[in-house]
Structure 1
């Protein structure tokens, strides 16, 4: 078997059998396509040549290209997962990636918005939605929900209409690894969602019907219709949400990332600032490890220290 054939089978397995997220499958596909190109250039097209030496050579080549340590760490994770699949399937005698080590990435704290910044963002969204435009109603609901429930952008875009319990004010989210969790949402987010469902979503769905794209809006497709629809009535894309959040963050002071994850980081940090238990925040975020959640305690500590320096006369 050729390396490219093996990677194609592996990607089909992780997508359709293992239920990996769309984001993970996309990252695996990019990494393994690059690995296959590197192997072909080295004259190593057969799977038997996909050994530890080849993998180390590929990682070294990527490091020489100046890729970040976080990217290289993801590359190692891809190779380990691919190697484990090869071993389980009996394609190779052992996992060729088992001895690879991930580079240590510099610890960077996530960008977190101040209380007044997130208030300004949500107030602007509410003012825009006052005109009744379906897209403005949807955008306000998206921003409120991202901050209220700390969802990942992929979770928000795939959230089915049935995942929202309007009476209990909760959403049922399918997170990483196909794990479902129940996340609460506050009164402002609930009001924004009610407005969107009352006057926004149906108008967007009608655009899809006019274009003959009922399946794109989830009607009659055999799958659950999505809660959020795009401007043309089809499924809302992650890129559209990135653009929405980036436009808002551009108007706020401070550097750093401008994607939807900033609202997730902000929600988690504000919960801890408000006294929420770390394990409660872990459950809300859908982290499998408490260590992933603990980064927000560092953010809270730094914010406390900064406020102390600003406010205390003898700081």
Structure 2
């Protein structure tokens, strides 16, 4: 009963992504197993003991940070519902996940991946349009898959994106992405449309809305054709776009808005990527490095 109510709260009231809900419910199952299913045993000592066991089992810091966040969310929810007399999660220390620098393409590699000659593959116009749009805008793969035809404003060169928390934002794109989109919409998409296609901008081979797995395969396949390129996911193109924007002089607030980050702290990791590249260039080029 408690788990089902918490599930409903996460999905309907917090509007968390399906991936986050699944992760939190898995964390809660682990916590409840530690408590032998008894909510009355949930206090700060039990929480600390549970997290200590996770640490002893060798769980990654990122996993421990997420489980700490889940525990806090759960205890606060239970306290509001009157299931706990107080909120033990308030006494729980923060377990911070490590901030690792994401792998990114350099600008020459990005150019090589997007400037490959056209082929006779019927998927090529769609794949090219998706790649151009991912790199031009830095949108998430889920946001790309959710795009409808009417979300593209060709007059202003922007797309309307529904991001995390159902927050809408407008993201600009350039000429290469516009030309690739026009080619797909005029010469490609009409050949893929079926009765069930609806307004989806990008379609799969059966005419339905494209799925994230297909987009990932397209990105991996394209980057494999670029010598020296790291094997990145669509999120790697997002990292690359943000890094190249900052390297080109964009301010951090603008990049935050483009990416749809709720916190500037999330965007700041890309400044570290740029500085890391600057150090590498310095070591390579400066005679006294």
1:307 corresponding residue in structure 2: 281
Deviation at 1:114, TM superposition (A): 0.7
Residues of 1 paired with 2:126 and 2:281: CA distance? 35
> Is the CA contact (8 Å cut-off) linking 1:132 and 1:199 kept in structure 2?
no
1:103 corresponding residue in structure 2: 95
Residues of 1 paired with 2:277 and 2:16: CA distance? 35
> Is the CA contact (8 Å cut-off) linking 2:242 and 2:255 kept in structure 1?
yes
Change (3 A) 1:99 1:250: farther
Residues of 1 paired with 2:121 and 2:37: CA distance? 58
Change (3 A) 1:232 1:100: farther
Q: Equivalences for 1:60-139 in 2 at 5 Å?
A: 60-124=52-116, 127-128=118-119, 131=120, 133=122, 135-139=123-127
> Is the CA contact (8 Å cut-off) linking 1:109 and 1:299 kept in structure 2?
yes
Deviation at 1:254, TM superposition (A): 5.8
Which blocks of at least 5 consecutive residues in structure 2 are unaligned? none
Residues of 2 paired with 1:243 and 1:237: CA distance? 10
Deviation at 1:190, TM superposition (A): 1.1
Change (3 A) 1:85 1:294: same
**1:122-164 deviations in Å (ceiling 9; x for gaps):** 123x524xx261x322211111111100111222122233222
1:269 corresponding residue in structure 2: 243
1:49 aligns with 2:44: no
Alignment match of 1:143 (pick from 128, 131, 139):
131
Residues of 1 paired with 2:222 and 2:47: CA distance? 41
> Is the CA contact (8 Å cut-off) linking 1:159 and 1:227 kept in structure 2?
yes
2:267 corresponding residue in structure 1: 293
1:14 aligns with 2:10: yes
Q: Match of 2:48, SS? A: helix
**1:32-90 deviations in Å (ceiling 9; x for gaps):** 34434x34xx5x21332333344334333333332221122112122222222222222
Residues of 1 paired with 2:90 and 2:224: CA distance? 43
Which blocks of at least 5 consecutive residues in structure 1 are unaligned? 220-224
Change (3 A) 1:103 1:248: farther
TM-score normalised to the size of structure 1? 0.83
**1:294-313 deviations in Å (ceiling 9; x for gaps):** 11111111212222222334
Change (3 A) 1:127 1:279: same
> Is the CA contact (8 Å cut-off) linking 1:147 and 1:266 kept in structure 2?
yes
> Is the CA contact (8 Å cut-off) linking 2:147 and 2:201 kept in structure 1?
yes
> Is the CA contact (8 Å cut-off) linking 1:250 and 1:258 kept in structure 2?
no
TM-score normalised to the size of structure 2? 0.89
> Is the CA contact (8 Å cut-off) linking 1:19 and 1:177 kept in structure 2?
yes
1:222 corresponding residue in structure 2: none
Change (3 A) 1:17 1:121: same
Q: Match of 2:90, SS? A: coil
**1:147-188 deviations in Å (ceiling 9; x for gaps):** 100111222122233222122111111112221111101111
Q: Give the paired residue count.
A: 288
1:165 aligns with 2:153: yes
Change (3 A) 1:57 1:156: farther
> Is the CA contact (8 Å cut-off) linking 1:20 and 1:178 kept in structure 2?
no
Deviation at 1:259, TM superposition (A): 1.6
Residues of 2 paired with 1:28 and 1:203: CA distance? 42
Change (3 A) 1:93 1:226: farther
Deviates more, 1:82-91 or 1:190-199: 82-91
> Is the CA contact (8 Å cut-off) linking 2:247 and 2:274 kept in structure 1?
yes
